[in-house]
Structure 1
Amino acid sequence: MQVVQGVLATAEETCGAEALEPGLERALEILQGSPELRGQFESRLIALIDSPEEGVVEIVSFLMHVLRWGTVRAAVEERIGNPRGNVSNIRLYEAMLDAFSDSWRDRDLFARFSGA
């Protein structure tokens, strides 16, 4: 969770996905190395998507492009179908959902996925 908070803080201070990638890589490493944290992290990600602040789309998209957790995908799909609060967040949810695809449009924003 500290790594995610660090990514969110970086997102507030900078512009561009490249500044977020080291923290995202660290979060991914922790999750892949600690499968027992999955339930906690799924809950945290779902809580984040309910009020997507700066950096949330990048966190969810990056991690879910690799992990493809069905619980998080279902939560994003549910927000698209039944938006809570600000309906303009639908576009953000659609961007998150796109990351679950092999043909994710924004994957080239990150060195890991762009082949850089």
Structure 2
Amino acid sequence: MGIITVDPVAELRGIVQGIRDAAEESCGVESVERDLERALDVLKSNPGSRGAFEEVLVSVIDSLGDGAVELISFSMHELRWQAVKEAVTARISDPRRNVSNLRLYGAMLDAFSDSWRDRDLYARFDRQDG
């Protein structure tokens, strides 16, 4: 019998859905932080899947919805992937954009900074000095 391996991209998609479901049912990041940690672990543990991960994250940016800002902000504050930052920046500068989404995109982009203003909402980053 072989060992069952989970496709990391499928695993990430499942975690994303869990984040969306939990965020829809509650307010505050406490309900999703454990899943955000799991998503970050998958992203960091599978460097060979980065291109596919970036596609998943860009689809999250495009769909927005519950948990999207939290997932992108939390993971990209640590990872700072240029392709994801460029995707957010492109949505901000797109003349056809939905203006009401600008605040959400701005919140995502802010997470790429060391001075991310929402970092203290998350135990992982609130514990860190700086």
Q: Same fold by TM (over 0.5)?
A: yes
Paired residue secondary structure (2:63): coil
Matched residue, 1:30: 42
Contact preservation (8 Å) 1:28, 1:63: yes
Classify the secondary structure of the residue corresponding to 1:79: helix
- How far residue 84 of structure 1 moved from its aligned partner, in angstroms, is 4.2
- C-alpha change, 1:2 and 1:84, in structure 2 (3 Å) is farther
Contact 1:50 1:84 in 2 (8 A): no
Query: Is contact 1:61-1:99 (8 Å) kept?
Result: yes
- 2:78 matches 1:66: yes
Question: How many Å apart are 1:79 and its aligned residue?
Answer: 0.7
Deviations for 1:23-52, whole angstroms, at most 9, x for unmatched residues? 010111111111112111111111111121
Structure with larger Rg: 2
Q: CA RMSD in A?
A: 1.3
Query: Match of 1:94?
Result: 106
5+ unaligned residues in a row in structure 2: which ranges?
1-12
**Within 1, Cα distance between the matches of 2:34 and 2:49?**
20
Counterpart amino acid of residue 103 in structure 1: S
| Structure 1, gaps ≥5 residues long | none
Contact kept, 8 Å, 2:29 with 2:122, in 1: the verdict is yes
Residue 6 of structure 2 is matched in structure 1 by none
Equivalent pair of 2:91/2:97 in contact (CA under 8 Å): no
Cα–Cα, structure 1 residues 98 and 19, in superposed 2: closer, same or farther, change >3 Å? same
TM-score by length of 1: 0.94
Quote the Cα distance in structure 2 between the aligned partners of 1:33 and 1:41: 12
The 1:8–1:83 alpha-carbon spacing in structure 2 relative to 1, beyond 3 Å, is farther
Instruction: Report the equivalent of 2:55.
Output: 43
After TM superposition, the score normalised by the length of structure 2 is 0.85
Counterpart secondary structure, 2:66? coil
Give the corresponding residue for 1:5: 17
Identify the residue that residue 81 of structure 1 maps to in structure 2: 93
